[in-house]
């Protein structure tokens, strides 16, 4: 998956929930809290899916509710 997807997700979480939630999400996904992907870089789909699944768990929301955040 293109890195721009990761970057958009990161910006959304930081803007709406803050750095602590983002770092916790990365930690729960077994990633370093400073994990980053350049916009033109590539990240495995499984990594993005794991991040989103853990974000849902941390926020106690469904996948659909996380997707709806992009519309706001």
pLDDT digits (tens, 9 = 90+) for 2-50: 999 999 999 999 999 999 999 999 999 999 999 999 989 999 999 999 9
User: CA-CA distance, 21 to 45, in Å (whole number)?
Assistant: 21
CATH number, position 7? 3.90.1520.10
Q: Residue 72 pLDDT more than 90? A: no
Instruction: Give me the pLDDT at residue 1, please.
Output: 87
Domain count of the fold of the chain: 1
User: For residue 39, what are the domain limits?
Assistant: 3-69
Tokens of 67: 């997707």
Look at residues 4, 17, 8 and name the one whose alpha carbon lies nearest to residue 55.
Answer: 17
Find all residues with CB under 8 Å of 45, minimum gap 6, and list them.
1
């Amino acid at each position: 998956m293109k890195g721009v997807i990761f970057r958009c997700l990161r910006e959304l979480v930081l803007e709406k929930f803050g750095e602590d939630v983002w770092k916790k999400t990365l930690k729960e996904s077994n990633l370093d809290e400073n994990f980053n992907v350049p916009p033109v870089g590539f990240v495995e789909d499984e990594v993005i899916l794991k991040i989103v699944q853990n974000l849902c768990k941390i926020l106690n929301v469904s996948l659909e509710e996380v997707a709806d955040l992009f519309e706001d």
